[in-house]
Amino acid sequence: MNAPKSQIVTIHDEIKQFCSWIEDMYAGQPDNALKTGFKDLDDLTGGLHQGNLAILASLPGMGKTAFSLNIVEHVAINLKQGVLILSPEISRRKIVERLISSRSRILLRVLQAGFSDTTRAEWDQLCVTVTELADSPIFIDDSTGLKIDQIMANVRTLKQQKDIQLVVIDCLHRLTRDSCPFFDSYQDEVPLITWHLKALAEELDIPILALCQLNHTVAKNHLMNPHLNDLGPLISIDHYADIIMFLSRREYSVKEGKDPKHLKGKSTVALVKNRHGVNGSFGLHFLDLITRFEKRRTSSTTS
């Protein structure tokens, strides 16, 4: 492992940079933080900040991949900033299908069935969406079995060649598997892997969003009142992450024997660590047929 480079600066230089930033903000210049497209999240965090590591955690099946791809879509198409998706979890074909469905609002099952039973309007919308995505600066790597040093090298190369501004990793447990064979378990790998990701974000001055799958046995309470402790054996992530948020869907929190239909799609994102503001939560509605999250008519709460 290379020795870290010294980053000693005088407070005079740092104050000068801070004052320059204040002047730019006062003059209406945009902040460098990437907006996610989710206003409530951006209001709480200011966006995804350069050099930061953000963690999105949830139980399986809650929609964390869809949520992250909604952010990718906004950053790459609306903000026109380069994004790299590292996805040993899901194939690049499945990622493309989800992006098209979410952007075009054409049912995912219709796309997967070959688009055989569609209207002229849907064909037109498909053409528009495919063109938008084809022209967007989205890069996908669905390789499996890569070691962390290989991943870091690939990200550095793409940053140099294409100036990407965001890296999304789906999912942390797949990315790290077999990367550090001298550890006994995945939980033992997590501190080193997250340390590397945080160091990479700072080195390249870009945000990294990593998805994290929780274990059913340690996450029973996080749906209603999430806390850092709900990370269970993965609590060491807290040492290096700047933002940690939990994604949950209300229909899965209903007690056995009750009908969850009235809660279908109702979702909550809860920030349990936020170095750029207060913790808080906000509601979203999940449209599972097009894998898209949208704003729900409930106000966010802060703490």
pLDDT digits (tens, 9 = 90+) for 48-71: 999 999 999 998 889 999 999 999
Q: Are 162 and 139 in contact (CB under 8 A)?
A: yes
Instruction: Answer whether residue 27 shows pLDDT above 50.
Output: yes
Instruction: Answer whether residue 23 shows pLDDT above 70.
Output: yes
Given this model, what pLDDT does residue 292 score? 97
Q: How confident is the model at residue 154 (pLDDT cuts 50, 70, 90)?
A: very high
Domain range list for the chain: 34-302
Can you list the positions of beta strands (E) in 161-261?
166-169, 208-213, 243-249
Given this model, what pLDDT does residue 22 score? 74
Given this model, what pLDDT does residue 177 score? 47
Min mean pLDDT across 24-38, 147-161, 227-241 is at 24-38
Q: Which CATH superfamily is domain 34-302 in?
A: P-loop containing nucleotide triphosphate hydrolases (3.40.50.300)
Which is nearest to 151 in space by CA: 166, 169, 163?
169
How far is residue 278's CA from residue 157's CA, in Å, rounded to a whole number? Answer: 35
Residues with Cβ within 8 Å of 81's Cβ and at least 6 positions away in sequence, in order, are: 34, 75, 137, 164, 165, 166
Average pLDDT over residues 244-255: 81
Please tell me which residue, 297 or 197, carries the higher pLDDT value: 197
- At 96, the amino acid letter reads V
Instruction: Answer whether residue 72 shows pLDDT above 80.
Output: yes
Instruction: Answer whether residue 219 shows pLDDT above 70.
Output: no
Both tokens of residue 39?
């206003």
Average pLDDT over residues 228-240: 84
Instruction: Answer whether residue 40 shows pLDDT above 70.
Output: yes
Average pLDDT over residues 247-268: 75
Q: How confident is the model at residue 185 (pLDDT cuts 50, 70, 90)?
A: low
pLDDT digits (tens, 9 = 90+) for 281-297: 999 999 999 999 999 86
Q: Which stretches of 3-112 are DSSP H helices?
A: 11-26, 39-45, 64-73, 92-104, 108-112
Instruction: Answer whether residue 119 shows pLDDT above 50.
Output: yes
Please tell me which residue, 73 or 193, carries the higher pLDDT value: 73
Residues with Cβ within 8 Å of 246's Cβ and at least 6 positions away in sequence, in order, are: 57, 58, 222, 226, 230, 269, 270, 272
CA dihedral 139, 177, 36, 199 (to 10 degrees): -90
How far is residue 272's CA from residue 278's CA, in Å, rounded to a whole number? Answer: 9
Given this model, what pLDDT does residue 25 score? 60
